[in-house]
């Protein structure tokens, strides 16, 4: 029962509020000022995710989007992605199952993780998924046995300057391993249909994409010389931080490099953005339970106890994810002091060090850019539930997407009550009716 409820919560999202032109901050303010909402909550600004998906497509018209759903698999995010016609990068049978249940065709899925057990391969194959990646001979032998008709992409390692490097764990070496692996695949009678790389999540060295595309070109040429034709180039994910001009630079570089090295339009070029599509669209609002100020090194240190933390959805709090005090005047950025934000769980490591104005237990905090690798990483250590999500969408965007098949009438509320709180995350009550037969130790009255 309890297990079921947790699964339910993970996937539960309340319907999206359709708004004239209310901003995400206005919606949060109304909800907080109503005093009815007592628990932390996320606002999912669907317009923001919509804009990021469209911008990605516009900036790189040659590149098809396969959303890396591990970054955020919340229901409305997936439905929006489906409505906008993107494909999906799945990392596990769990993700394959989740996206197939929405009615997505398995041929729109790339199972992009190069580590798979036989059971996972069989699961994908029977589900109708066709495409996956590999980066070792060991994997090829297994694929030969359990998924011989798979369309394979060789995953090569590309060095980069990234917040989360993936090259240590994934990817074969272009210089010394790739050609041997391609030959091994050919000798096993397997079909290698393309080349994949991932520069690492939060990649700031934009040149890395050009290096990856150049190496892919060399492998396409190797295969062509051997009489084998590859058809897919997968440039992975790693894109982030729209507020800088980085995304413009990187998308321009990719577009130019593709025009130069892959002018043949019959080569399908795909990308697997995760973070970029959803990060800016989710904002966390968190209430404060108590505060206390101590002196540390002759300076005040504010200890602020809040209702979410690193064992909840704040597991990887990034340097670009700002936290502000949120009160009736909006976001306060003045008089910043050293602050420790303690999460709710009884874990001494459950804290974040930040700068904030002094707070009271009446204030709320707002955390920006919380849409990627937050909800999906959350644990429920010590029985704490994670915040629920309130999606919002403007009338303008809603009018464009509401009739897509993926949505049903319950997905949107057109004249919403902005003051209505989200459902409680407390477990169902079990009222006490006197001692049960299983009481053993009893505490003194």
Ligand X SMILES: *Cc1c(COP(=O)(O)O)cnc(C)c1O
The answer to whether the CB of 223 falls within 8 A of the CB of 178 is no
Q: Which backbone phi and psi does 406 adopt, to 5 degrees? A: -65, -25
- Binding interface with ligand X (CB under 6 A): 68, 70-71, 89, 112, 198, 201, 236-239, 272-276, 372
- Tell me how far, at minimum, the Cβ of 53 lies from ligand X, in Å: 13
Q: 246-261 and 207-225 helices cross at what angle (nearest 10)?
A: 20
In whole angstroms, the minimum distance from the beta carbon of 413 to ligand X comes to: 30
Nearer to ligand X, 242 or 272 (CB): 272
Residue with tokens 């339009």: 265
Nearer to ligand X, 233 or 388 (CB): 233
Residues 430, 441: Cα–Cα separation, whole Å: 20
CA 48 to CA 278: how far, in whole Å?
Answer: 8
We find the least distance from the C-beta atom of residue 196 to ligand X, in angstroms, to be 7
By beta-carbon proximity to ligand X, the closer residue of 31 and 369 is 369
d(CA 428, CA 306): 23
For the CB of residue 375, give the shortest distance to ligand X in the complex, in Å: 14
Chain centroid to Cα 222, Å, comes to: 35
Q: How far is the CB of 287 from ligand X (least distance, A)?
A: 29
DSSP track, 72-103: ---HHHHHHHHHTT-EEEE-SHHHHHHHHHTT
Least distance between ligand X and beta carbon 108 (Å): 15
Task: Report d(CA 421, CA 287) in Å as an integer.
Answer: 14
Q: State both tokens at 54.
A: 């469209």
**Closer of 92 and 252 to ligand X (Cβ):** 92
| 3-state per-residue secondary structure call for 229-251 | CCCEEECCCCCCCCCCCHHHHHH
Q: Tell me whether residue 152 or residue 365 sits nearer to ligand X (CB atom).
A: 152
Whether the Cβ atoms of residue 122 and residue 115 lie closer than 8 Å to each other: no
Residues in the chain: 445
Q: Between 24 and 89, whose beta carbon lies closer to ligand X?
A: 89
Straight-line distance from the first to the last Cα atom of the chain, in angstroms, rounded to the nearest whole number: 32
Q: How far is the CB of 238 from ligand X (least distance, A)?
A: 5
CB-nearer residue toward ligand X: 109 or 304: 109
Select the residue whose beta carbon is closest to ligand X and give its number: 237
Give least dist CB 369 to ligand X, A.
13
Q: How far apart are CA 131 and CA 153, in angstroms?
A: 8
Q: Are 359 and 56 in contact (CB under 8 A)?
A: no
- Taking each helix axis from N to C end, the angle separating 207-225 and 178-187, rounded to the nearest 10 degrees, works out to 40
Q: Which CB, 40 or 167, lies closer to ligand X?
A: 167
Q: Closer to ligand X at the Cβ: 181 or 278?
A: 278
* Least distance from ligand X to the Cβ atom of residue 39, Å: 28
């Amino acid at each position: 029962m309890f297990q079921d409820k947790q699964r339910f919560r993970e996937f539960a999202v309340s319907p999206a509020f359709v708004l004239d032109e209310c901003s995400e901050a206005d919606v949060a303010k109304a909800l907080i000022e109503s005093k009815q909402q007592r628990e932390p909550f996320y606002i999912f600004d669907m317009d923001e995710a919509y804009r990021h998906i469209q911008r990605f497509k516009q900036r790189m018209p040659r590149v098809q989007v396969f959303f890396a759903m591990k970054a955020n698999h919340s229901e409305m995010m997936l439905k929006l992605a489906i409505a906008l016609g993107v494909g999906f990068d799945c990392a596990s049978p769990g993700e394959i199952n989740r996206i197939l249940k929405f009615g997505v065709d398995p041929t729109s899925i790339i199972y992009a993780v190069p580590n798979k057990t036989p059971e996972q391969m069989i699961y994908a194959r029977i589900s109708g998924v066709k495409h996956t990646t590999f980066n070792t001979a060991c994997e090829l032998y297994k694929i030969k046995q359990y998924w011989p008709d798979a369309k394979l992409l060789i995953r090569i390692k590309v060095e980069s300057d990234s917040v989360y490097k993936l090259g240590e764990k994934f990817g074969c070496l272009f210089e010394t391993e790739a050609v041997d692996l391609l030959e091994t695949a050919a000798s096993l009678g397997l079909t290698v249909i393309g080349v994949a790389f991932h520069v690492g999540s939060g990649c700031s060295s934009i040149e890395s994409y050009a290096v990856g595309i150049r190496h892919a070109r060399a492998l396409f040429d190797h295969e062509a010389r051997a009489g084998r034709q590859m058809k897919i180039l997968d440039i992975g994910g790693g894109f982030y931080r729209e507020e800088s001009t980085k995304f413009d630079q990187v998308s321009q570089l990719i577009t130019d490099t593709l025009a130069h090295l892959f002018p043949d339009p019959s080569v399908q070029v795909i990308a697997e953005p995760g973070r970029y599509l959803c990060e800016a669209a989710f904002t966390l609002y968190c209430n404060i339970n108590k505060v206390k100020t101590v002196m540390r090194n002759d300076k005040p240190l504010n200890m602020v106890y809040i209702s979410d933390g690193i064992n909840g959805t704040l597991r990887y709090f990034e340097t670009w994810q700002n936290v502000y005090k949120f009160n009736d005047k909006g976001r306060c950025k003045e008089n910043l002091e050293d602050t420790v934000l303690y999460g709710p769980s009884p874990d001494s490591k459950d804290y974040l060090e930040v700068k904030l104005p002094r707070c009271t237990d009446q204030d709320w905090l707002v955390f920006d850019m919380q849409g990627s690798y937050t909800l999906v990483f959350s644990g429920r250590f010590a029985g704490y539930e994670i915040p629920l999500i309130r999606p919002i969408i403007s009338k303008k965007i809603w009018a464009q997407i509401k009739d897509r098949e993926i949505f049903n009438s319950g997905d949107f509320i057109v004249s919403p009550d902005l003051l209505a709180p989200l459902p409680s995350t407390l477990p169902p009550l079990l009222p006490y009716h006197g001692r049960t037969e299983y009481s053993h130790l009893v505490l003194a009255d």
